[in-house]
Amino acid sequence: MSDPITVSLFHRMNFRDEENLLDRTVQGVISTPMDRPEGPLKVSGTATYADEDHPPGTVYGWLVRATITKGWVVGLNSRALRRMPGVLAVIRDERMIRNPAQGGDAKSPYQGPAEVFYKGQPIALVVAETFEQARDAATAAQAEYLDRSHKAVIVPAEAEYETPRGEQSSQGDLDRAMQEAAFSVDVEYTTPSMSHASMEPHAAVAWWQDGRLTVRGSYQMLNTNAQELADALGVSPKKVRILSQYVGGGFGSKLGISHEAVGAAIAAQKLGRPVAVALHRRQVFETTHRRSESRQRVRLACDAEGRMTAVGHEVWVSNLPGESFSEPVTQSTPFTWAGENRLIGHHIGRLNLNGAGSMRAPGEAIGVPVTEAAMDELAEAAGIDPVEFRLRNIPEVDPSSGKPFSNNRLAECIRRGAEKFGWADRPKQPGSRREGEWLIGMGMSAIIRVNMMGPSTARVTLNPDGTALVETDMTDIGTGSYSILTQIAAEMLGLPPEKVTTMLGDSDLPPSIGSGGSRGAASSGTSVMLAAKALRKKIAERMDCDPDDLTLKDGTAIAGNRQRSLSDLLAGDTLEGTGTIKPGLAEMHHRQASWGAEFCEVAVSSVTGEVHVRRLSGVFAAGRILNAKTARSQCLGGMIFGIGQALHEKVETDARDGNFVNRDLAEYHVPANLDVPHIDIELLMDDRDAYANPMRAKGIGELATCGTAAAIVSAIANATGHRFRHFPVTLDKVLEKLG
C-alpha cells in the first residue's frame, strides 16, 4: 500500500456559511437516533475508565490534606509514615497544585503545598505498594502548621468584593426607569454552592517511559490538559501524553488538570514506577471545583402595556484569592429581553473555600432561573400571563449591542411549548387549585444558553477497503461524541456507520477544543466534516467531476450516470483528510444562542411541605440536531439537573472553618427516580444556524438546565401563592410560608 495521500481543509467562521452541505448528502445517517457505538462496551462493563487499567508494577497514592483553613505547613511526620507497612514515599513537592486548573488556560493554578488556602487542600502524597497501605498511612499523617485560620474568610457576607474590569455595563438610566415605570420589581435571590458529583470520581494513573510521561486520567480537554500538566511539572508539552478514552461524567469538574494527575506524575517520576491516584468521594467534594454560591439583585420594569423598559442584573459570587475565573451569571441577560435602560454588575469575593469553577452551563444555569423567576414576578404585577408577557418582550436585535441574532427561535419554542403543555389550563389565581392536601400549580421559563465555538482539528482516513477512521483528541464524557462524529463522517463519505471507526481521548491525536461549554459537538464535529469534505474533493477528482456533482451513498461514488465503489476507486490507495475550524468574525458580529422553553406542573403538600414535580416539558432549538437520541438524553439530564437545583442541591459548609458538612451522595441530595416525573421533550429538527458553523449546529449539552429551576419555583408560586427566592426550595421553607 502506498503512503497516504493527504489533503487538508481549514475554515474560519468569518461569515454566514451558505453551503449547507449536510442537507444535500443522501446517506441518511445524520440526525437519526443512532445507538452509541461504544454502548455495548459500557453496558457490559468492558469500557476501560481511568482507574481500571493499571500497568504492571503500579503502586498507589493517597492525598494528605490540610486540617486548617489558612496558614502554612511547616512540618510533617514523614519519617514515621515511611516506616509504615508498604510505604514507598511521602511526597511534598513545590510542583503540587493548590487547586485544579479551570480548563482553557494552559497555565497551572497556584503551586506549592506549603501555603494553605482552604481546609482539605492537598499538602502531600503518600505512595505505597497497595491502595489500603497508602490510605492507612495518609490517614496517620500529622502536619505542623503556622496556623492563621482566624484570618480566613468563610462566609460570603464577610468577603471583600471586587469588580473585574469589563464585567460591568450600563445603558440609559435604570433608576429613573424604575421610578417612572407602570410596574416594576426589585428582588434579591440567592443560589447555593453546588458540587459536580460525577459518577466517576477523579482518578489518574501515571508512568514515565524514555523521558515521556503518560497519564491515563478522567479529563475533558486533553490538548489544554497536557499543556497544564506540562506547566505544573516544568517540562515541554511534547513530553506529556494524556489518555482519556471514557469519562464517567465531568460537568466541568474535569475541565482542568487536577491534584491526582500532578501528584501521580511527580511520584511516578521519583519512584520509576507507575502510580495510581484515585480520589475518594469526599475528597472529590472537598478538593475539586464547586459552583460558586450567588447573591443576585434583579430589577425589571415595564409600561402599562407590558413593554419592558428596564433590565438590571447584579451578582455577587466568590472564588479563591488569585483565581481569574468567576461564575458568569449575567452572561445571557444583556440580550434576552427588551428594555432600553440596562445595568449589568458582576462582583467577586475572595473566600477560603475550595476553588469555584465551571459547572454545567456556567452562568446561565444559575442566572437564567433567577431572571426568569423575576420575569414571572413582573408579569404578575402587570396582570399579564407569563407566556404573553415574554412574547411581547423578545427583542428584534441584541438590545445591549445592536447586533443581529444569528437566529432566534425563542418565540416559537414558547408558543409550541405552551400549546403542548396545556398552558391555557393554568390556575389564574395562585393557590386556587387543590386536590386534597395538594396545592397544584404551573410555571414556565424561557431557556437560553450562549453558543460558542473553539478551535478543533480532526483527521479522517479512508482505507483501501472502503472503511474510514476518525481521529481527534475530543473526549466523550457521556454526551455522545463517539456517536455524532461517526455519523458526520458516515454521512459525508456515504458509508454505513458500521464502516466508520472513531478514536478519541488521546492527546497525541489532532487537537480539539474538548468537551466543555457546549462547544464540543459543533467544534469537533465541524472539523470532522471538513476533513471528510477534503476527502470528497479528492474522490471527485478520481471520478472526474465537480465536488458539487458528487453523490456518495453506501460505499459507492455516483456522478451523472456513472458509479464506482469506493474500494475500486481507491485502487489500493489510502486517502487522509484533515480539517480545522476556528472561530472568527461571525461570533463577533452576530449574537448566537441556543433557545428553548420549559413548562412545569407541581403538587405541593399543605401538610408536609413536599414538592412533587408532576409534569415537565421542554421545546428546544439548537441548530441541526446531530443525533436525536443523544440530544434528547442531554435535555433529559439537564432538566433533571434543574430539578435538583430547584429542590435539592446545596453544599453545606461549617461557617467556623469551611469544613464540608455534606460531602458525599448520602448527604448531598440529588434527584432520585421518584423525584423525576415523565419528561416530554421536543427538538425543533428544522432549526439551522448558518452563522454558527458549516454544520449549522449549536450547543445542546447544557441548554436544558438553563431555566428549569425557574419553571419549578414559578409553579410553586402558582400553587401556593408564595414566592421563594432562596434556592433550593426545601420543605422547611415551604412549611414556614404556609404557616
Q: Is 228 considered catalytic here? A: no
Whether the bond between 728 and the residue before it is cis, its omega within 30 degrees of 0, is: yes
**Are 506 and 549 found together in one domain?**
yes
- How many domains does the chain contain in total? 3
Predicted TM-score of the model (pTM):
0.97
CB atoms within 10 A of CB 299: 23
Q: Do both 15 and 108 map to the same domain?
A: no
pLDDT at 277: 98
Give me the domain span that covers residue 575.
Answer: 5-30+453-588
CA 614 – CA 609 distance, rounded (Å): 15
User: Are residue 265 and residue 359 in the same domain, yes or no?
Assistant: no
- The predicted-structure confidence for 392-401, as pLDDT tens digits, reads as follows 999 999 999 9
Q: What does the pLDDT read at residue 108?
A: 65
Res 106: pLDDT: 63
Buried b (16+ CB within 10 A) or exposed e, 354-374: bbbbbbbbbbbbbbbbbbbbb
Q: How far apart are CA 38 and CA 634, in angstroms?
A: 17
pLDDT(585) > 60: yes
Compute the average pLDDT of residues 566-573. 96
30 pLDDT above the threshold of 60: yes
pLDDT at 62 over 60: yes
The domain boundary, picked from 571, 588, 605, lies at 588
Provide the 10 A C-beta neighbour count for residue 52.
Answer: 14
* Domain end position, chosen among 259, 288, 317: 288
Confirm whether 189 is domain-assigned: no
In this structure, the answer to whether residues 478 and 552 fall within a common structural domain is: yes
User: Considering the domain boundaries, does residue 551 fall inside one?
Assistant: yes
Whether 158 maps to a domain, the answer reads: no
700 and 609, same structural domain? yes
pLDDT per residue as tens digits for the range 703-715: 999 999 999 999 9
Which pLDDT score, from 0 to 100, does residue 165 have?
84
List the one residue out of 98, 142, 522, 504 whose CA is nearest residue 322: 98
Based on the fold, state whether residues 373 and 344 are members of the same structural domain: yes
675: helix, strand or coil: helix
Q: What is the pLDDT of residues 454-476, one digit of tens each?
A: 999 999 999 999 999 999 999 99
In a domain, 345, yes or no: yes
Q: Are residues 248 and 299 in the same domain?
A: no
CA 10 from centre of chain = 27
Estimate the share of the chain in helix, then strand, then coil, as percent rounded to the nearest 5: 30, 30, 45
Look at residue 168 and tell me if it is in a domain.
Answer: no
Domain CATH number, residue 373: 3.30.365.10
> Is residue 159 in a domain?
no
Q: What b/e string do you get for 432-465 counting C-beta neighbours within 10 Å, with b at 16 or more? A: ebeeeebbbbbbbbbbbbbbbbbbbbbbbbbbee
Q: Rounded to an integer, what distance in angstroms lies between the CA atom of residue 267 and that of residue 256?
A: 20
The answer on pLDDT for 375 being more than 70 is yes
- Identify whether residues 624 and 543 lie together within a single domain: no
Instruction: Give the C-alpha separation, 362 to 699, whole Å.
Output: 13
CB atoms within 10 A of CB 164: 11
Phi, psi (degrees; rounded to nearest 5) at 313: -145, 110
Helices (H), 422-517: 481-493
Q: What pLDDT score does 352 carry?
A: 98
> What would the grid cell of residue 409 be?
427561535
- Among 561, 588, 615, identify where a domain stops: 588
Q: Residue 449 — φ and ψ, nearest 5°?
A: -145, 130
- The sign of the torsion formed by the CA atoms of 558, 563, 566, 572 equals negative
Residue 169 lies in a domain: no
Whether residue 215 sits in one domain with residue 122: yes
688-700 per-position pLDDT tens digit: 999 999 999 999 9
Q: Please report the pLDDT score of residue 2 as a whole number.
A: 55
Residue 646 and residue 522 share a domain? no
pLDDT tens figures, 485-523:
999 999 999 999 999 999 999 999 999 999 999 999 999
AA letter at 551: T
| 173 is a domain residue | no
Do 144 and 283 sit in the same domain of this protein?
Answer: yes
Give the cell for residue 672.
Answer: 432520585
Q: How far apart are the first and last CA of the chain?
A: 81
Per-residue pLDDT, 611: 98
The active-site residue, picked from 372, 491, 682, 702, is 702
CA dihedral 403, 404, 409, 414 (to 10 degrees): 50
Sorting pLDDT into bands at 50, 70 and 90, what band is 1?
very low
Calculate the average pLDDT of the chain.
96
Residues 6+ apart with CB under 8 A from 548: none
The mean-pLDDT minimum among 202-211, 426-435, 581-590 falls in 581-590
The pLDDT value recorded for residue 167 is 84
> Do 336 and 212 share a domain, yes or no?
no
